[in-house]
Structure 1
């Protein structure tokens, strides 16, 4: 997975807000034309407990960002919880101007 964001975030589920550390990436899916983002929430007993209790609808918020709807996925052998979303991701996307500007020498 290529990384688009690595760092702190807040995971919200109802009235529960949990500060977490995440690694996120994503891509535009050509079959449906939507942006699919995904990643993992680093090991956190409270997040694992949410997932094990059957909760999967959450919101991910990065510092200075807006809450972004997401779903909790499987728990890996190291205790990380997968998180996925479709549409605008919680992290900023690089614009065409950013890409073209980085090519200038």
Structure 2
């Protein structure tokens, strides 16, 4: 694993709720845009899959104490949810 990848624990903040998840994320720098784009998936999570299925599309993702806005989409057949974001990835120090 390198700095452009992260696997491990994170917390999704959905409104006032804090929901712990396991994530696999990767980032790439887009030189034309001058910023990072990053994406990945959560591990299997029935509650999160249900919430996304009901229309939830945005939350805050924190790895450590660094929260950032994240888009939620595409529950997969194994119960994970796709995450994506722009800007500095939340696992960068």
TM-score between the two structures when normalised by the length of structure 2: 0.88
How far does the alpha carbon of each residue in 1:13-63 deviate from its partner, in whole angstroms, 9 at most, with x for none?
A: 111211110011110123422200111011111111220110111011113
Q: Report matched runs for 1:8-19 at 5 Å.
A: 8-19=9-20
Pair 1:83-2:78 in alignment:
no
User: Gaps spanning 5+ residues in structure 2: where?
Assistant: none
**Alignment deviations for residues 75-99 of structure 1 (CA, whole Å, 9 cap, x no partner):** 1111110000000111116xxxxxx
Task: Name the structure where helix makes up a greater proportion of residues.
Answer: 1
User: Which structure's CA Rg is the greater one?
Assistant: 1
SS of alignment partner, residue 6 of structure 1: strand
Distance in 2, Cα, partners of 1:32 & 1:7: 28
CA contact (8 A) 2:27 2:39 kept: yes
Offset, 1:70? 0.5
Between the aligned partners of 2:67 and 2:10, the Cα distance in structure 1 is 10
Normalising by the residue count of structure 1, what TM-score does the alignment of the two structures yield?
0.79
Determine helix, strand or coil for the equivalent of 2:74.
Answer: strand
Whole-Å Cα distance in 2 between the matches of residues 92 and 73 of structure 1?
23
Q: Give the match for residue 72 of structure 2.
A: 72
Aligned-CA RMSD value:
1.6
Stretches of structure 1 lacking an aligned partner (at least 5 in a row):
94-105
Distance between the aligned counterparts of 1:73 and 1:91, measured in 2?
A: 20
